[in-house]
């Protein structure tokens, strides 16, 4: 809902103002969004929340180790709890790391998109890649799956969360998977580019 202020008064005396927000945003992802290996406040989701405050609210329901199957089972509760206008869906990386079938990942992502839409929300899908040792064919299928879901469901898409440094191991923690603090703002800006059009739509709906 749009940002307005409710003035509560007793006997004509102003007590408080309570802000209502233009959009409630839920980040629903895995360790790349939960801040794995980072200090509190360093992750890209925390930076996004600061960037969008006070006009919008950002909640983080990301869980380290989450797969699309686990996400699908958790999502109904998260939607009920947060009632988001926009869901940033950043899942699939752990499916790929486990070598799970791409078709199953696509099915789960599509099912999550439909759940969000049934609640009246919008989805920003965030794609990922895999380390080179997973083989070129599987990596291509994995990356294309995000594009395919976005095209089939007519979604906004951030093709690659780690765009701009995916091949630079110096930007990753020792595990070679989780980005360091120094590139979290870059990740935030990458997501924000795809998010801004949805924020505009959410603000129009709230008027």
Catalytic residue among 69, 107, 178, 206: 178
Catalytic residue among 77, 144, 168, 175: 175
| 56 part of the active site | no
Place of tokens 């990596």: 139
∠ at Cα 91 (180, 117), nearest 5°? 135
CB 39: neighbour CB atoms within 10 A?
Answer: 9
Name the token pair of 148.
């395919």
Cβ pair 122, 150 in contact under 8 A: no
CA atoms of 206 and 152, how far apart (whole Å): 27
| 73 part of the active site | no
CA atoms of 37 and 60, how far apart (whole Å): 16
CA atoms of 130 and 5, how far apart (whole Å): 46
| 175 part of the active site | yes
Catalytic residue among 30, 31, 56, 145: 31
- Report, as residue numbers or ranges, the catalytic residues: 31, 175, 178
């Amino acid at each position: 809902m749009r940002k307005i202020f409710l003035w509560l008064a007793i006997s004509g005396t102003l007590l408080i103002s309570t802000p209502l927000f233009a959009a409630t945003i839920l980040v629903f992802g895995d360790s790349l969004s939960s801040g794995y290996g980072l200090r509190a406040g360093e992750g890209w989701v925390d930076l996004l929340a600061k960037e969008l405050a006070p006009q919008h609210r950002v909640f983080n329901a990301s869980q380290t180790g989450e797969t699309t199957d686990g996400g699908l089972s958790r999502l109904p509760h998260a939607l009920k709890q947060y009632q988001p206008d926009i869901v940033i869906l950043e899942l699939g990386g752990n499916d790929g790391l486990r070598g799970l079938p791409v078709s199953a990942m696509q099915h789960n992502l599509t099912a999550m998109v439909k759940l969000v839409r049934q609640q009246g929300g919008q989805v920003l899908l965030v794609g990922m890649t895999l380390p080179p040792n997973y083989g070129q064919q599987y990596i291509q299928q994995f990356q294309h799956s995000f594009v395919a879901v976005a095209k089939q469901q007519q979604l906004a898409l951030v093709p690659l969360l780690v765009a701009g440094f995916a091949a630079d191991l110096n930007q990753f923690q020792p595990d070679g998977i989780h980005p360091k603090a120094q590139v979290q703002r870059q990740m935030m800006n990458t997501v924000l580019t795809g998010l801004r059009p949805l924020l505009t739509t959410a603000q129009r709906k709230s008027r």
